[in-house]
Amino acid sequence: MGVPGMLEKNVYDQYGLYCDEKYQFGQYEGFRSGSQYYVLMPSLRRHDHLWVQLEWAKRLKARGVPQITDLVPDMGGNAVTRVDGVQQLLFQLPEEEDRSGLSEGETLAMMHEFGKGWVPEVNDLHLYGRWLSFWERRIEQLEAFHRTIDQRLQKTAFDQQFLYTFPYYLGRAETAMQWLVEEGMEQTLSPSMGTINHTRFKPGAWMVADENRTQVKLPLSFVYDHPARDVGECLRYCYEQDDLSLASDFLEAYTRGQPLQPPMWALVGARLLFPLTYVELMEEHYLNEGTKEVRADVDEEKFEQVLEHEESYMKHTAQCLLDALPEASKGQWFTRDRAFAFIQ
């Protein structure tokens, strides 16, 4: 048997567990100890956030939502422990197979139904009714980036592309925010619609452990918001991938064949119109500028992919909203050249 590495030693010292076999679960490191499987996740939030998310997970599990991980405290009873040089949390994967027979969309609908009204006291997890303020702040930050980059004497290829595309995406963001107010009516939302969501949901967002555990849910991704958040982000992913059948299958499963109501579609539309993927890429690039040598090449490639898919994405979004909200959508929104005629 080989000499144990730092991870194996830390896990045994802190948790009393042997690492019989190491695994990679997506972006996270995990291991098998005996017949049990575990995954390590960096601790990125404050403890008060963690306790709320764990309580949500406990309640969802009690209501019958399948495949939710359990936090494993260390031998001292601490939730957060230093493993492999990083403050981490250890979660045990569910032992049982998922026998619910539910699809991803059906399970998400169950979570949204059972999670209603579990309002967190932690402000950072409470995103319900706050999209407009969040979006305004993020666009203001991009405008500040734009002013700074515009004054640079030496500009990278990424800088030049950002300066060229920003007016278009600014227009798209402004359209999304106007839609959110006029059609989504976020300012008048009933508190009763808030529920458990994910930071960024997409098909396959839940972890696949093996062929019997394909929807393993990690509590650290939970936030409190309108269910339109998860639905909108799932459709965003499908449209960015140009996969209409995946979008259709998800909606069919989520709604169990029943159409979403217009107020829900109005909020989904706002999320689809807001250029979140572009905004996140600009934030990631300029907030971490110069920290990695290969960052520029990687970001330029991502940027090209965003621009390459923009036209088809907006066509899918426009068609989706024209179909779902014909009265709201006809004429006034999709004839605004600044938001829908993509720059070539």
- Quickly list DSSP for 300-327: HHHHHHHHHHHHHHHHHHHHHHHHH-HH
Provide the pLDDT for residue 342.
Answer: 47
Provide the pLDDT for residue 228.
Answer: 97
**Cα distance between residue 276 and residue 319, in whole Å:** 19
CB 149 within 8 A of CB 228: no
pTM: 0.90
Provide the pLDDT for residue 30.
Answer: 85
CB 342 within 8 A of CB 197: no
Beta strand extents in 205-293 (DSSP E only) = 222-225
State whether residue 330 is helix, strand or coil: coil
In the chain, what are the domains? 6-101 (3.30.200.20), 127-189+226-340 (3.90.1200.10)
Provide the pLDDT for residue 2.
Answer: 40
Q: Give me the numbers of helices (H) and strands (E) for the chain, helices first please.
A: 12, 8
Provide the pLDDT for residue 331.
Answer: 47
Stated as kind and residue range, the H or E segment containing 264 is: helix 262-273
CB 104 within 8 A of CB 253: yes
Kindly state the tokens that stand for 91. Answer: 């979660």
The CA distances from residue 258 to 139, 198, 254, in Å, are: 36, 23, 9
State whether residue 214 is helix, strand or coil: coil
Provide the pLDDT for residue 209.
Answer: 67
Give the residue ranges of the chain where pLDDT is below 70: 1-4, 45, 97-100, 209-214, 292-294, 328-344
| Residue 46 backbone zone (phi > 0: left; psi -120 to 50: alpha; other: beta) | beta
Provide the pLDDT for residue 339.
Answer: 44
Provide the pLDDT for residue 160.
Answer: 96
CB 252 within 8 A of CB 246: no
**Cα distance between residue 282 and residue 64, in whole Å:** 40
**Cα distance between residue 180 and residue 222, in whole Å:** 23
